[in-house]
Amino acid sequence: MSDRIGFIGLGNMGRGMASNLCRKGFSLTVFDINPVPMEALRQLGARVAAGVSGVAEASDLVITMLPDSAALERVAFGSDGVLERLAAGGLFMDMSTVDPLVTDRVAAEASREGIEFVDAPVGRLAAHAARGESLFMVGADAATFTRVRPLLDAMGTTVHHCGGVGTGIRTKLVNNYLSIVSCAFNAEAVALSQKFGLSLENTLEVIHGTTATNGQLKMAWATKVFRGDTEPGFSIDLAHKDLTLIVNAANALHVPMPIGAIARESFNAARTQGYGAKDFSAMGDLQCELAHVARPRLP
């Protein structure tokens, strides 16, 4: 635990991850534009910096968990950014879900500055992050992966070394594609079942006994929208953002994504209906509203 750790981005995911690092004895300096999670981390023993530069200058290894590509570019490339202020020999680990071409640019500039770079986006939800049960998809060379592994183990339970730099974020986009698109077609299937007048419990029992089942419907929806809980573990706004990243990345490589494009517009339509801040499982509620049937709930 000799590295001094910096953590930038204490949102729904980052706060839980940083909190677990504090609880497990890592020396931590944090920053977020929102003072509330910074105070919570201070109470756990972290030092609070006044900005990105303060984190970078006080750290040997900086972690970022940011909402989008633009935020990563500001934090990485700004005049007070990580790459300007982190000393040569340092390590920059980005855990955000961003455009993989942005990841490539940050990695290339880090290399020019003598800074190691890791992309390690996160699987699972905010509740898992708070419990230290995240899953990580890591892009790094072998030596750098060894350096960050203790941090990842402190924040999660499952670590996949996907390959060299850039493979982590690309694996994350493939994973999120399946996860998000399944929410769109689950919503349509559930709405149809309710319009047919079917029992939700009986219908799910059949689905979960066949190849039609999927993790979103079986695990996530059972504890979220089917229980009336649409507080965002992963919001519709974020789902739309990720599908946009995925479709754009695929288009750049001439990979057709017609289903992804349609699903993205379904999530965009949900945003226009005021659903953007709800959990992405709330697509089920919206589709039932559009079909003029009751929102389905498990007892």
H or E stretch including 28? Answer: strand 28-31
What one-letter code names the amino acid at 184? A
Q: Any bridge partners for residue 123, and if so which?
A: 135
Burial of 3 (0-12, 13-18, 19+ CB in 10 A): middle
Q: Which residue in the block uniquely carries the two structure tokens 């202020």?
A: 85
Task: List the alpha helices (DSSP H) in the chain.
Answer: 12-23, 35-43, 52-57, 69-77, 82-85, 100-112, 126-131, 142-155, 167-195, 200-207, 215, 221-223, 236-252, 258-272, 283-290
- The answer to whether the CB of 75 falls within 8 A of the CB of 82 is yes
Tokens of 236: 């519709």
- The answer to whether the CB of 289 falls within 8 A of the CB of 225 is no
Give the three-state DSSP class for 196. coil
The residues assigned a catalytic role are: 172
